[in-house]
Amino acid sequence: MDFSILTIFPEIFDSFVAHGIIRRAIEAGIVSVSPMDIRNFADGKHRITDDRPYGGGAGMVMKPEPLHRAIAEARKQNPAGRTILLSPQGRPFKQSVASEFSMLDGLIFICGRYEGVDERIYKYIDEEISIGDYVLTGGEPAAMIIIDAVTRLLPGALGAEESAEKDSFSEHLLEHAHYTRPPVFEDEAVPDILLSGNHGAISDWRLESSLVRTLLKRPDLLDAKTLGNREKKALKQWCQYIEQLISA
């Protein structure tokens, strides 16, 4: 998967590509991450990429010509790339969108700055994506978030000991609770089942933990979920605990 990023601050990505799973995925040839400086496509000695808005008002707008040239070059280098304009006005980015993007061969991100991009750039993009209902100063953190979430879904990107399968949002559930050593921390012990070696019981405990967390923290996710028998049983058991607590 090839990620191209059009930005006026390409150096922001230096550290992003130098660590952890992203670095490993680059080294393994699973992804390429190529920041491209929009200023290289701007005219004149000062390589200006923004200008005042027509009609007046505060802020600057990213000029269309450098962006248009940068998009054309990115498409040459990344011909299979879907061109994404990062914008708070776009389709909300979710795990399901990460999954959809992980099937593509490439993505080209346009990172806006200032008030955003000249409206005439819209006809050169495939899609507008938002990472949430808040406004960032620039699209670069949004590009990193999407690249990160997509990369970990690509075959081979996670090590054998890591897995995206049970991650939160897969199967419309949040992931179960985790514990590691020590077995007792500040008087709080790890649940016995997790130390039991009984894989069936551990799996049931994790399913219940996952369901209960989703119910408490993000009940909206369950609206889209069809519960199987195992899941219904786990929830019923939990309802029984609650009934016992209430009637005690």
Instruction: Determine if 20 is a binding residue for ligand SAM (CB under 6 A).
Output: no
Residue among 53, 17, 44 at smallest CA distance from 33: 17
97 binds ligand SAM (CB under 6 A): no
Region near ligand SAM per CB under 6 A, out of 111-119, 154-162, 186-194, 203-211:
111-119
Task: List the catalytic residues.
Answer: 88, 115, 152, 167
- Which one, 64 or 138, has the nearer CB to ligand SAM? 138
How long is the chain?
Answer: 248
For ligand SAM (CB under 6 A), the number of binding residues is: 19
CB 111 within 8 A of CB 46: no
Give the ranges where the chain is alpha helix by DSSP (H).
13-16, 20-27, 64-77, 95-101, 140-151, 192-195, 199-217, 219-222, 229-247
- Nearest alpha carbon to residue 16 among 34, 39, 38: 34
- Least distance (Å) between residue 192 CB and ligand SAM: 44
- Please tell me whether residue 102 binds ligand SAM under the rule CB under 6 A: no
**DSSP readout, 171-195?**
GG-PPPP---S-SEETTEEPPHHHH
Complex with ligand SAM: residue 87 or 209, whichever CB lies closer: 87
- Using CB under 6 A as the binding rule, whether residue 137 contacts ligand SAM is answered as yes
Out of 112, 125, 147, 214, the only residue in the binding site for ligand SAM (CB under 6 A) is 112
Query: For residues 187 and 235, is the Cβ–Cβ distance under 8 A?
Result: no
User: Using the rule CB under 6 A, is 131 a contact of ligand SAM?
Assistant: yes
Among positions 24-83, residues that touch ligand SAM (CB under 6 A) are none
Which residue in this structure is represented by tokens 């054998």? 160
Compute the least distance from the CB of residue 146 to ligand SAM, in Å: 9
Choosing from 18, 20, 28, 89, the residue that interacts with ligand SAM (CB under 6 A) is: 89
Strand order, beta sheet including 32-37: 32-37, 2-7, 106-110, 81-92, 127-130
**Which member of 12, 21, 26, 136 binds ligand SAM (CB under 6 A)?**
136
Q: If binding is defined by CB under 6 A, does position 88 make contact with ligand SAM?
A: yes
Q: Does residue number 116 form part of the binding site for ligand SAM (CB under 6 A)?
A: yes
Residue 146 amino acid letter: I
Angle at the Cα of 123 from the Cα atoms of 140 and 89, rounded to 5 degrees: 45
Which residue lies nearest ligand SAM, judged by its C-beta?
112
Q: Which of 44, 134, 188, 224 binds ligand SAM (CB under 6 A)?
A: 134
Positions in the binding site for ligand SAM (CB under 6 A): 86-89, 111-113, 115-116, 130-132, 134-139, 142
